[in-house]
């Protein structure tokens, strides 16, 4: 058991037999499917980096729960140091893979459950925290990857879960048995569900007193009976199946919809069951942790985008142009602002009654609002620097064609000392980082909508202290 190598991680996925559909067909070999494998490789990089001697002090630590070395991706934060490490690790991995590594959401769920299950037990005398800690031991001892099943399909968003015409628009409990519960519903945008060993389900929103069947949290293996993974379409995805024009040579992102078709969950895997008033705590803590994760991840992606822009300047013969250097500086400061916000949210974290640590939500949400705007601007700057061939570069197949390949290579040449093949590959990488919808759209909607970020900021900000400061300066006494 213990820490896995990348190879052991991939082999452990082979042992799972999930039900999977993609592009209208049932997929029986997930690990060797080129489209899904590119995402598995991105998650595999978290294991690969952790095994490198120079990274071990950052990626690996001793778990106080099992008193053994564990991956930080299975460790709910128990100190400011742990909160800071989350951000640094996400930036390092994203810098390595240039896209979403898919493992942060599972940790965000573990971090949330470590806090909220304790609070529920304290109020109701339940045993959810005990269930969770046993599950956490399982995750740590086997170095497993978790997937966050949070976003429900929601149906008519003007209606509460129990008011929906189709009651399955939010995942719900349809049966309680002696040995467990049966759940039905669907979770969308499930990044990396097939790169994961466990699916960890949390509520997607605050719940009212009539939404008890929807206030549920649990964990199940990714190949549980009745659980169906339907891999969603993404721009550029067919290229990975074709093996041409991929851009990123090693890694990618995919996002299934998960259908829970009357899935059984044993009681020892249930972490909340009907305690509606705690649904909002689950949502706020998960979303805030995930928005902190994004700041580290996306600053690492901008690192790669900046590197691509600088390399294209070398290849195009524009490295000395001052206005392009200014654009690179603009990209760098966007990455560092994201990174700085998330580090600040970590350093301002506070210990919770459970003993675990929670970040500063206002700073984490400020980072996410910044990301939603500035990732788009960083992408624009990268494309501006690279040039128009990002939009319509001929296919690799055209370059391999004996009749026209030589002509294309002649006319696609940039700086004479740079092989034309290198320039073509860098154009493709720029295209991938800019136009892979599964990742670029998550810059806006990942971790919730921009409006959700704003609402959280206002709700969590101490507005009275700000008014008090202004009144004191104005000489106003209440």
The residue among 41, 431, 22, 30 whose CA lies nearest residue 246 is 431
- pLDDT, mean of residues 190-210: 96
pLDDT tens-digit map of 67-84? 999 999 999 999 999 999
**In the chain, what are the domain boundaries?**
6-276, 282-463
Q: How far apart are CA 335 and CA 50, in angstroms?
A: 23
Whether residue 366 is predicted with pLDDT greater than 90 in this model: the reply is no
- pLDDT, mean of residues 381-390: 94
Provide the token pair at 426. 């860098």
**pLDDT (0 to 100) of residue 370:** 82
Higher local confidence (pLDDT), 456 or 360: 360
Higher local confidence (pLDDT), 368 or 39: 39
Whether residue 458 is predicted with pLDDT greater than 80 in this model: the reply is no
Mean pLDDT: which of 223-227, 333-337, 392-396 is highest? 223-227
**pLDDT (0 to 100) of residue 449:** 66
Q: How far apart are CA 191 and CA 112, in angstroms?
A: 18
**pLDDT (0 to 100) of residue 446:** 64
- Mean pLDDT score across all residues of the chain: 93
Token look-up 């029986």 returns: 28
* Helix (H) / strand (E) containing 312: helix 279-316
DSSP state at residue 152: B
Provide the token pair at 460. 């969590």
- pLDDT, mean of residues 456-466: 79
**102 exposure class (CB count in 10 Å sphere: 0-12, 13-18, 19+):** buried
Q: How far apart are CA 385 and CA 327, in angstroms?
A: 8
Architecture of domain 282-463 in this structure: Up-down Bundle (1.20)
**pLDDT (0 to 100) of residue 443:** 65
154: Cβ–Cβ under 8 A, 6 or more apart, which residues?
Answer: 169, 170, 204
Whether residue 444 is predicted with pLDDT greater than 80 in this model: the reply is no
Q: Is 230 helix (H, G, I), strand (E, B) or coil?
A: strand
CATH class of 6-276: mainly beta
Note whether 18 and 227 are within 8 A (CB).
Answer: yes
Least confident window among 345-349, 364-368, 404-408, 420-424: 364-368
How many Cα atoms sit within 13 Å of 430 on the Cβ side? 30
- pLDDT, mean of residues 208-225: 97
Whether residue 381 is predicted with pLDDT greater than 90 in this model: the reply is yes
- pLDDT, mean of residues 421-441: 89
Least confident window among 28-32, 36-40, 239-243, 438-442: 438-442
**pLDDT (0 to 100) of residue 320:** 95
Whether residue 356 is predicted with pLDDT greater than 70 in this model: the reply is yes
Whether residue 168 is predicted with pLDDT greater than 90 in this model: the reply is yes
Measured CA to CA in angstroms, residue 229 lies from 30, 34, 218, 221 at distances of 11, 16, 18, 12
What stretches of 155-278 show up as alpha helix (H) in DSSP? Answer: 237-242
pLDDT tens-digit map of 273-300? 999 999 999 999 999 999 888 888 999 9
- pLDDT, mean of residues 346-374: 90
pLDDT tens-digit map of 92-108? 999 999 999 999 999 99
Q: What is the rounded (10 degree) CA torsion for 334, 339, 341, 343?
A: -170
């Amino acid at each position: 058991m213990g820490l896995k190598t990348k190879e052991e991680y991939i082999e452990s996925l082979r042992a799972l037999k999930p039900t999977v559909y993609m592009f209208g067909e049932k997929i029986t070999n997930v690990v060797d499917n080129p489209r899904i494998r590119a995402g598995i490789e991105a998650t595999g990089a978290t294991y690969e980096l952790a095994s490198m001697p120079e990274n071990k002090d950052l990626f690996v630590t001793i778990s106080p729960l099992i008193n053994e070395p564990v991956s930080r991706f299975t460790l709910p934060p128990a100190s400011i140091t742990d909160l800071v490490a989350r951000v640094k690790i996400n930036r390092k991995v994203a810098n390595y893979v240039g896209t979403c590594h898919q493992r942060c959401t599972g940790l965000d769920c573990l971090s949330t459950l470590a806090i909220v299950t304790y609070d529920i037990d304290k109020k109701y005398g339940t045993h959810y925290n005990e269930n969770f800690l046993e599950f956490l031991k399982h995750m740590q001892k086997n170095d497993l990857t978790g997937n966050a099943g949070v976003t429900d399909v929601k149906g008519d968003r003007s209606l509460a879960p129990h008011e929906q015409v189709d009651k399955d628009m939010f995942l719900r409990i349809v049966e309680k048995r002696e040995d467990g519960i049966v759940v039905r519903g669907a979770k969308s945008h499930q990044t990396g569900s097939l790169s994961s060993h466990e699916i960890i389900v949390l509520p997607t929103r605050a719940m009212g007193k009539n939404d008890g069947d929807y206030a549920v949290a649990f964990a199940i293996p990714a190949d549980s009976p009745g659980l169906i993974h339907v891999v969603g379409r993404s721009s550029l995805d067919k290229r990975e199946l074709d093996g041409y024009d991929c851009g990123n040579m090693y890694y990618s992102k995919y996002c299934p919809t998960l259908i829970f078709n009357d899935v059984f969950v044993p009681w020892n895997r249930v972490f909340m069951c009907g305690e509606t008033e705690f649904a909002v705590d689950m949502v706020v803590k998960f979303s805030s942790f995930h928005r902190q994760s994004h700041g580290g991840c996306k600053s690492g992606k901008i690192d790669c985008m900046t590197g691509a822009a600088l390399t294209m300047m070398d290849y195009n013969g524009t490295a000395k142009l001052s206005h392009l250097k200014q654009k690179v500086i603009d990209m760098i400061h966007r990455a560092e602002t994201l990174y700085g916000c998330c580090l600040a949210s970590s350093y301002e974290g506070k210990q919770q009654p459970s003993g675990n640590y929670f970040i500063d939500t206002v700073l984490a949400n400020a980072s996410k609002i910044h990301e939603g705007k500035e990732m788009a601007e960083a992408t624009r700057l990268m494309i501006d620097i690279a040039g128009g061939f990002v939009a319509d570069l001929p296919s690799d197949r055209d370059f391999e064609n004996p009749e026209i390949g030589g002509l294309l290579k002649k006319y696609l040449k940039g700086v004479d000392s740079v092989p034309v093949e290198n320039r073509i590959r860098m154009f493709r990488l720029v295209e991938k980082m800019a136009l892979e919808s599964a990742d670029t759209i998550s810059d806006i909607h990942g971790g919730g909508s921009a409006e959700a970020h704003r609402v959280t900021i206002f709700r969590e900000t101490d507005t009275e202290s700000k008014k008090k400061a202004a009144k004191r300066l104005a000489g106003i006494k209440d």
